[in-house]
């Protein structure tokens, strides 16, 4: 018993839907055609002036114009061009192919149309259209859906086929894509992809049938004679690739197609971009992010006490490095004046800041604000003059060196 295949609302579905709203009504004159006459009764179904066009769909789900005419509410004639068989590219219709009709009004609104009695192409035929259905297309911004849905690789055995043989060289050319399912697809009248034959790709040579259309039934259920092949591979990660086989070949019933190699291009990737911080050391590390957006933030450690000498307003975590002015104490110390630097001066400041190992004994730039306090720096690691310059640059008014003397 024959049944209709699943309608797959996927790749070609969104491509063709988007292209319906952005059609080009220009077309080439190929020298042969089928004539359509729109009677007054059919023309009355169109409520405004505009342009009527006849389009065919390629394997990518894109529409190509084969006839167009201006419409002003009167009886209209269109010569719908046939494919020029003397050129390698398809530039018109072939016999039996479905015609897609569109109407664009003068305000830019796009409509789909169905002609009666037929939408099927017949070379050199004349068709009198007595009835016309016109439906406005919703071309809003929300119609563009770039999501990637799962392909259905099941297919119907129509009783006629073309055999596709994938030699070792062809399998080797797609090894980098990984294992998965490969199928031959065609677009139905709704622009949906239907599988006509498939096989599993596991790194080994394989053979599979590509089914031809059963002409005894109304719906298309396989490829038609001379139709281009659309081969799609879905790997185990869900990425879909379009495979272009070489040498190139069109569909022929009862033929055997030996594929030497493929060229692959990404057709659909179901992995959405998730921007975020990808540094695990950051505060806002995003485990789901797969695109770095430079938003990472980090804890800045330092002294968080605004009353200290080395307060860091950007620090969020105190690291215990705060330095404070020591409480004055009464103590007598032997002092020996330095024999370098400027003249001695009277300093009236009882504030004292101790510089020890935690500040590298004053041998490097001091990130402190002495604000006139006295620097008490332990001897060692560098020249006295270097310590003095660093303390002076940090705002110290006086420098005292401490030298620890061990009594014996």
Taken in order 89, 94, 99, 103, the sign of the CA dihedral is: positive
CA 20 to chain centre: 22
> What pTM was estimated for this model as a whole?
0.42
5 has pLDDT over 50: no
124 three-class SS:
coil
Q: Which whole-number Å values give the CA distances from 293 to 275, 280, 289, 391, in the listed order?
A: 6, 14, 9, 42
Query: What's the chain's length in residues?
Result: 408
Q: What domains sit in the chain, N to C, each tagged with a CATH number?
A: 22-139 (2.60.40), 161-268 (no CATH), 303-408 (no CATH)
Give the separation between CA 156 and CA 241, rounded to whole angstroms: 23
pLDDT average, residue stretch 212-216: 91
Task: Tell me: pLDDT of 217 over 60.
Answer: yes
Backbone angles phi, psi at 250, to 5 degrees: -100, 170
Element containing residue 16 per DSSP (H, E)? helix 11-20
Q: How distant is the alpha carbon of residue 153 from its chain centre?
A: 25
> Nearest-CA neighbor of 137 among 120, 171, 113?
113
Report whether pLDDT(260) > 90: yes
Residue 65 has pLDDT above 60, yes or no: yes
Q: How confident is the model at residue 330 (pLDDT cuts 50, 70, 90)?
A: low
In tens, the pLDDT along 18-57 reads: 468 889 999 999 999 999 999 999 999 998 888 999 999 8
Question: Which tens digit of pLDDT belongs to each residue from 143-196?
Answer: 444 446 789 999 999 999 999 999 999 999 999 999 999 999 988 766 678 999
CA 92 to chain centroid, in Å, comes to 33
Q: Which of 152-156, 224-228, 315-319 has the highest mean pLDDT?
A: 152-156
Give the whole-number percent of the chain exceeding pLDDT 90.
Answer: 39
Helical ranges in 189-231 per DSSP H: none
What is the DSSP-derived secondary structure letter of residue 43? H
pLDDT(244) > 60 = yes
The pLDDT assigned to 3 comes to 31
- Is 192 or 75 the better-scoring residue by pLDDT? 75
Between 289 and 273, the higher pLDDT residue? 289
pLDDT digits (tens, 9 = 90+) for 119-150: 789 999 999 999 989 999 887 644 444 446 78
Of 160, 180, 176, the C-alpha closest to 232 is: 180
Structure tokens at 273: 């971009």
**Cβ-Cβ contacts under 8 Å for 346 (sequence gap 6 or more):** none
326 within 8 A of 352, measured Cβ to Cβ = yes
Average pLDDT, the chain: 82
Residue 295, pLDDT > 80, answer yes
User: What does the block give as tokens for 236?
Assistant: 């185990």
Mean pLDDT of 349-372: 75
CB distance 110 to 23 below 8 Å? yes
Please tell me which residue, 11 or 371, carries the higher pLDDT value.
371
Quick one: which of 103, 95, 18, 43 has its CA closest to 67?
Answer: 103
Q: Which two tokens stand for residue 57?
A: 């769909």
Tell me the mean pLDDT in the region 268-291: 80
């Amino acid at each position: 018993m024959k049944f209709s295949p699943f309608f797959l609302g996927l790749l070609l579905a969104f491509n063709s839907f988007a292209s319906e709203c952005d059609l080009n009504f220009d077309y080439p004159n190929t020298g042969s055609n089928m004539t359509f006459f729109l009677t007054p009764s059919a023309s009355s179904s169109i409520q405004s002036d505009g342009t009527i066009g006849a389009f065919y769909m390629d394997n990518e789900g894109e529409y190509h114009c084969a006839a167009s005419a201006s419409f002003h509410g009167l009886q209209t004639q269109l010569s719908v061009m046939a494919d020029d068989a003397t050129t390698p590219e398809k530039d018109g219709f072939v016999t039996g192919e479905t015609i897609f009709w569109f109407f664009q009004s003068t305000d830019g609104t796009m409509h789909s149309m169905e002609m009666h009695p037929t939408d099927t192409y017949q070379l050199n035929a004349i068709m009198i259209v007595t009835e016309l259905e016109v439906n406005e297309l919703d071309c809003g911004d929300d119609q563009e859906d770039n999501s990637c849905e799962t392909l259905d690789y099941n297919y119907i055995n129509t009783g006629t086929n073309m055999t596709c043989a994938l030699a070792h060289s062809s399998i080797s050319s797609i090894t980098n894509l990984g294992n998965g399912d490969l199928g031959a697809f065609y677009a139905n009248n709704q622009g949906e992809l239907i599988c006509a034959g498939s096989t599993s790709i596991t790194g080994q040579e394989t053979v599979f049938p590509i089914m031809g259309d059963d002409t005894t039934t109304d719906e298309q259920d396989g490829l038609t004679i001379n139709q281009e092949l659309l081969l799609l591979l879905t790997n185990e990660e869900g990425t879909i690739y379009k495979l272009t086989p070489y040498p190139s070949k069109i569909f022929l019933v009862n033929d055997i197609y030996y594929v030497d190699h493929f060229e692959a291009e990404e057709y659909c990737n179901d992995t959405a971009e998730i921007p975020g911080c990808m540094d695990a050391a950051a505060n806002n590390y995003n485990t789901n992010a797969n695109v770095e957006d430079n938003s990472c933030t980090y804890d800045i450690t330092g002294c968080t006490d605004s009353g200290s000498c080395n307060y860091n307003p950007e620090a969020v975590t105190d690291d215990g490095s705060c330095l404070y002015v020591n409480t004055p104490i009464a103590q007598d110390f032997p002092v020996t004046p330095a024999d370098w630097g400027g003249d001695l001066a009277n300093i009236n400041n009882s504030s004292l800041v101790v510089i020890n190992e935690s500040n590298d004994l004053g041998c490097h730039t001091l990130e402190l604000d002495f604000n006139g306090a006295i620097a008490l720096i332990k001897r060692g690691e560098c020249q006295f003059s270097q310590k003095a310059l660093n303390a002076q640059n940090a705002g110290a008014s006086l420098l005292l060196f401490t030298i620890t003397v061990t009594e014996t």
